[in-house]
């Protein structure tokens, strides 16, 4: 899925998104981008916000589609509204896209389904090419959505000249390596993630923490655990931990910290130290070769090294495996969680 999504869209040192529906001049002239989505797609959009602002220097607003559409948002000409929906049929996301279009904004759909309603309610579409996803809980489609957001960010950076040619080239090479690195993550972390799941499958609560681009990884990892294992789980920006969630911690609490390499890693490790001081059990997702993380965690799931902004694609995989392992240890059907539908077509 990831390889197909990237595939022919990386052409040497350029990004080719011919289906995007906006000319190069229109992309250069954008004053703002608004991303609207629900659930897993919302978390993919959060990663995209960080990448677009960092690489292309375009201001990005991110909101839950069901909230954005009802708050009378200020949107119009010069804005690009990006609606992300795996099915292309998510009711709230479609309504937000239609409203944006009616107010004069350009609208781009990111979806996995050709001919879906989202493709008809937008000016352009970028497909994730993830293929059929049978399980209700989104996994490979999340990786593909994040990859599309990276491609859009790099296309904007290319057109606006906000990255050096060498910097753009390096990121594109790293993009092309992601499918291979995901395979490595699965090989390295499947066993350790299952071991952790076996030890903690009967925990009454999990807390997930992350900062910056690690926050959407924590949010998505927690969502996966909730969806398939039914274990009460919360995810917070690590800097917010002392504003409430720390009261929940004791020696029976597993805390999953996304501690991959980033400019805020020291802050994440400081938060992990605070967690351990309360007796909680820290499981960290870390970049290989960073020995410091092991000093702050009981267990570490390592991912291969790549550009730090691209690491969410790799960091989510061990958390998906952890959720799968907990659900299996609890004797649950991971493909058909209770009360959930693959496509949310009603409000």
DSSP states of 160-222 as a string? Answer: HT-S-HHHHHHHHHHHHHHHHHHHHHHHHHHHHHHHHHHHHTT-S-EEEEE-TTHHHHHHHHH
Q: Note the pLDDT tens digit of each residue in 16-44.
A: 998 899 999 999 999 999 999 999 999 99
Q: Do the beta carbons of residue 334 and residue 328 sit within 8 Å?
A: yes
Q: What is the pLDDT of residue 142?
A: 97
What pLDDT, on a 0 to 100 scale, did the predictor assign at position 195? Answer: 97
- pLDDT at site 135: 84
74 and 195 assigned to the same domain: no
Looking at the structure, do residues 216 and 105 belong to the same domain, yes or no?
no
Residues 147 and 4 in one domain: yes
**Dihedral sign of CA atoms 59, 64, 68, 71 in order:** negative
Interval 217-236: pLDDT, tens: 999 999 999 999 999 999 99
Euclidean distance between CA atoms 332 and 71, whole angstroms: 39
Structure tokens at 263: 């400019």
Per-residue pLDDT of 280-335, as tens digits, reads: 999 999 999 999 999 999 999 999 999 999 999 999 999 999 999 999 999 999 98
**Residue range of the domain that includes 220:** 178-330
The verdict on residue 347 lying in a domain is: no
The CATH number assigned to the domain holding 264 equals 3.40.50.10490
Instruction: Examine the domain organization and report whether 69 and 133 are in the same domain.
Output: yes
Residues 42 and 189 grouped into a single domain? no
CA distances from 171 to 10, 174, 314, 337 (A): 11, 5, 15, 37
What are the tokens at 19? 């289906």
Q: What is the pLDDT of residue 339?
A: 81
pLDDT over 90 at 342, yes or no: no
Torsion of CA 34, 130, 15, 57, to 10 degrees: 30
Is residue 225 domain-shared with residue 301, that is, in the same domain? yes
Query: Do 106 and 234 fall within a single domain?
Result: no
Output the pLDDT for position 346: 64
Tell me, yes or no, whether 155 and 189 share the same domain: no
Query: How many structural domains compose the chain?
Result: 2
Angle at 171 between CA 166 and CA 4, to 5 degrees: 135
pLDDT given for residue 347 in this prediction: 67
* Contact indicator for 285, 299 with CB cutoff of 8 Å: no
* Average pLDDT score over the chain: 95
């Amino acid at each position: 899925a990831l390889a197909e999504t990237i595939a022919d869209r990386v052409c040497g040192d350029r990004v080719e998104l011919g289906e995007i529906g906006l000319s190069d001049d229109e992309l250069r002239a954008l004053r703002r981008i608004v991303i609207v989505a629900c659930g897993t797609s919302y978390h993919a959009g959060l990663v995209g916000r960080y990448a677009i602002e960092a690489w292309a220097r375009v201001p990005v607003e991110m909101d839950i589609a069901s909230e954005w559409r009802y708050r009378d948002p200020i949107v119009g000409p010069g804005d690009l509204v990006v609606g992300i929906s795996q099915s292309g049929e998510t009711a709230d996301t479609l309504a937000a896209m239609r409203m944006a279009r009616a107010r004069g904004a350009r609208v781009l759909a990111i979806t996995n389904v050709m001919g879906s309603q989202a493709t008809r309610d937008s000016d352009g579409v970028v497909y994730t090419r993830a293929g059929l996803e049978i399980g209700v809980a989104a996994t490979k489609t999340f990786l593909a959505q994040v990859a599309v957001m990276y491609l859009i960010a790099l296309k904007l950076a290319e057109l606006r000249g906000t990255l050096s040619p060498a910097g753009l080239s390096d990121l594109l090479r790293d993009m092309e390596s992601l499918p291979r690195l995901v395979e490595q993550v699965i090989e390295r972390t499947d066993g350790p993630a299952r071991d952790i799941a076996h030890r903690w499958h009967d925990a009454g609560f999990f807390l997930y923490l992350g900062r910056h681009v690690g926050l959407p990884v924590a949010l998505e990892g927690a969502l996966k655990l909730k969806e398939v294992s039914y274990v009460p789980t919360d995810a917070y920006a690590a800097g917010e931990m002392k504003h409430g969630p720390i009261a929940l911690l004791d020696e029976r609490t597993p805390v999953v910290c996304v501690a991959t390499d980033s400019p805020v890693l020291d802050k994440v490790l400081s938060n992990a130290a605070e967690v351990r001081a309360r007796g909680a059990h820290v499981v960290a997702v870390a970049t290989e070769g960073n020995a410091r993380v092991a000093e702050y965690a009981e267990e570490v799931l390592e991912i291969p090294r790549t550009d730090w902004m691209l690491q969410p694609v790799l960091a989510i995989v061990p958390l998906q495996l952890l959720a799968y392992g907990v659900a299996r240890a609890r004797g649950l059907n991971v493909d058909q969680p209770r009360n959930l539908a693959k496509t949310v077509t009603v409000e």
